Structure 1
Amino acid sequence: MKTTFYTLIKIFLSLVIGLGLTQFILKPIYEVLGIAFYGNLWVLWFAMAYFIYTLINLFLSIRVGAVKSKETLLFSINWLLLILAFLIIIFPILKREIPY
């Protein structure tokens, strides 16, 4: 029960931080590069949130030694999703538009 609560807290924090980073970091970067910031922005938000979630797990497994975070990081699907999230964030910069 306790680990489920901590996992829900990590997910909620990731979503909140991801939304903030999407609105206050990604949006200005995209606009400076001439990329219109519209469309299905939830895709960027979710990619940023998953990226943050993985960083939180990495931090917890290294600093705190949380067993559940280490187990999560061992899944290969976790790393594939992290690469996919990174590509979703970077792809609009390469294409010069948000295709989602």
Structure 2
Amino acid sequence: MSAEVKVLSTSTRTNLEALKHHMKKLEFKYYEERDGWVTFGAHLMMNGEGVAPYDCISISVRFMDINVDLWGFDLINKLPEARQAILDFYEAEGNYGKDW
């Protein structure tokens, strides 16, 4: 876990663990938080800096922002369930700002 995640409140860490559990059920693996974002990916690829996830969903743990990069149709079909898990996370955090 990065230093950023370690300074999150206990409730946020608990909510993040619940989100990880939901995403794992959908076959997305959790990747370490970075710059306020957590990423869940279905595959790995090699980039110039090492191994990185692709076919992934990244969410901000501080703001209600999401970045989705899915190419597989089987993964796209899982997007509604992933969306609900992410909305549940934001609701538990008290962030309701956007309709999407």
Structure with the greater alpha carbon radius of gyration: 1
TM-score normalised to structure 2 length: 0.31
TM-score normalised to structure 1 length: 0.31
Higher helix share: 1
By relative contact order (CA 8 Å, sep 6+), the higher-ranking structure is 1
